[in-house]
């Protein structure tokens, strides 16, 4: 299973104004820890599934004004979000050798900051739209490298379905590319939102603290390399049970590294554990269902598409009123035709 990957995303567009849409991705083999904070080089390779829910749509329009104007869900962007988008636009201008400022308008449907990868869809959409508006290289690898500079996980949202992000050793060699999965895999990801509020510790700070202080970090990074090899093989033969087992052990291992950091970073909440228990129960009753979690308390459950409704029902009962969404593998980032918008 592999959706068509565009070879050229932006060529036919005039520079100046562009709108792009991108979807979040959830890592089955996690990115946790940087080797270079400025370049967003990760310590390890990671692998993800792009979802078909929670898209981000971003329009970038060059302007004669003297400042960037950034609107986020209808309101002016402030604080850290504004600073990061601004720094990203500076990078794009530097690469393009241009000086025009931009009007950026983003509609993000992901609950921001809840460990649901809003930065992945956000920076993938911004990278594709800004590259088109400023006339930068438009091949998927260049766009993946560019998106990485906004948020590491965004490098993977350039692609649909499954993508692997090669850690690399420098700006050129750190990029994502598509990974094939057997057609019979037919997975779904059930997202249980147990808390849609912003997280207390940013993933950037949590990663830094984990790499610097957790005695469990190096062993996890080492085992993650094996997990990736096993995961690629499991995807290739369409073995959902193996994909789930590997994803679950990799994610829980990542959370163990954080719990051992000094001071500890704990994203897993009592509500997350209740959902985790319900997934164990499902498994005991013969349903293939496996958990993964990111930098927040929400739980994502990997299962077969045919079981998704049943898994969602079980998880909804456990998630004490929190929203539950069913996602399937989704499309890569793409430009929207301005006329049809």
Nearest-approach distance from CB 200 to ligand PMV, in angstroms: 15
Q: Which is nearer to ligand PMV, 222 or 306 (CB)?
A: 222
**The only residue of 41, 295, 312, 315 in contact with ligand PMV, by rule CB under 6 A:** 295
- Residue 46 interacts with ligand PMV (CB under 6 A): yes or no: yes
Q: Exposed (0-12), middle (13-18) or buried (19+): which is 107, by Cβ within 10 Å?
A: middle
Query: Which residue, 160, 157, 161, is CA-closest to 183?
Result: 161
What's the CA gap between 115 and 104, in Å, rounded? 24
Q: Which is nearer to ligand PMV, 282 or 299 (CB)?
A: 299
Nearest-approach distance from CB 59 to ligand PMV, in angstroms: 22
What's the CA gap between 134 and 314, in Å, rounded? 48
Nearest-approach distance from CB 21 to ligand PMV, in angstroms: 19
Nearest-approach distance from CB 155 to ligand PMV, in angstroms: 8
Q: Which is nearer to ligand PMV, 220 or 282 (CB)?
A: 220
Please provide the DSSP assignment of 144-203 as one string: HHHHHTT-TTHHHHTSSSEEEEE--SSTTT-EEEEE---GGG-EEEEEE-S--SPPSS-H
- Residue 294 interacts with ligand PMV (CB under 6 A): yes or no: yes
What x/- string results for residues 220 through 259 when contact with ligand PMV is judged by CB under 6 A? ----------------------------------------
What x/- string results for residues 186 through 215 when contact with ligand PMV is judged by CB under 6 A? -----------------xx-----------
For residue 291, what are the β-bridge partners? 301
Q: Which is nearer to ligand PMV, 140 or 152 (CB)?
A: 152
Query: Which residue, 47, 34, 294, is CA-closest to 155?
Result: 47
What x/- string results for residues 106 through 125 when contact with ligand PMV is judged by CB under 6 A? -----------x-x------
What's the CA gap between 115 and 113, in Å, rounded? 6
Strands of the 289-293 sheet, one edge to the other: 289-293, 299-304, 187-192, 324-327
- Residue 41 interacts with ligand PMV (CB under 6 A): yes or no: no
* Residues near ligand PMV (CB under 6 A), total: 14
Query: How many other C-beta atoms lie within 10 A of the C-beta of residue 285?
Result: 10
- Rounded to 5°, the CA angle 30-33-39 comes to 110
Structure token digits, residue 163: 């993508």
Helix axis angle for 240-259 and 203-213, nearest 10°, is: 70
**Residue at token pair 């829910």:** 53
Q: Which is nearer to ligand PMV, 2 or 204 (CB)?
A: 204
What x/- string results for residues 6 through 35 when contact with ligand PMV is judged by CB under 6 A? ---------------------x--xxx---
Q: Which is nearer to ligand PMV, 205 or 309 (CB)?
A: 205
Which residues would be at the binding site for ligand PMV (CB under 6 A)? 27, 30-32, 46, 117, 119, 151-153, 203-204, 294-295
């Amino acid at each position: 299973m592999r959706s068509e990957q565009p070879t050229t995303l932006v060529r036919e567009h005039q520079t100046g104004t562009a709108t792009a849409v991108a979807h979040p991705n959830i890592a089955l083999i996690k990115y946790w820890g940087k080797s270079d904070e400025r370049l967003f080089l990760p310590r390890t390779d990671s692998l993800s599934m792009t979802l078909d829910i929670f898209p981000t749509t971003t329009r970038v329009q060059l302007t004669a004004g003297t400042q960037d104007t950034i609107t986020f869900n209808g309101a002016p962007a402030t604080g850290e979000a504004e600073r990061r988008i601004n720094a990203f636009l500076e990078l794009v201008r530097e690469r393009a050798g241009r000086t025009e400022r931009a009007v950026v308008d983003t509609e993000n449907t992901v609950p921001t900051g809840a460990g649901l990868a809003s930065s992945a869809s956000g920076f993938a959409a911004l990278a594709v739209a800004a590259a088109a508006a400023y006339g930068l290289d438009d091949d998927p690898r260049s766009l993946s490298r560019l998106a990485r500079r906004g948020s590491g996980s965004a490098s993977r949202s350039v692609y649909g379905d499954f993508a692997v992000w090669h850690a690399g050793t420098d700006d050129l060699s750190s990029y994502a590319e598509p990974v094939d999965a057997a057609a019979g895999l037919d997975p779904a990801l059930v997202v249980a939102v147990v808390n849609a509020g912003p997280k207390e510790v940013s993933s950037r700070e949590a990663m830094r603290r984990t790499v610097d202080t957790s005695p469990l970090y190096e062993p996890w990074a080492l085992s993650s390399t094996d997990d990736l090899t096993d995961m690629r093989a499991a995807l290739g033969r369409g073995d959902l049970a193996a994909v789930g087992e590997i994803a679950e052990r990799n994610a829980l291992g990542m959370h163990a590294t954080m719990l051992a950091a000094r001071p500890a970073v704990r994203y897993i909440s009592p509500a997350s554990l209740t959902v985790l228990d319900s997934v164990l129960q499902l498994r005991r009753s013969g349903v293939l269902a496996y958990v993964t979690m990111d930098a927040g308390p929400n739980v994502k459950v990997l299962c077969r598409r045919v079981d998704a409704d049943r898994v969602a029902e079980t998880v909804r009962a456990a998630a004490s009123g929190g929203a539950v969404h069913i996602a399937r593998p989704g499309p890569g980032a793409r430009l929207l035709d301005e006329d049809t918008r």
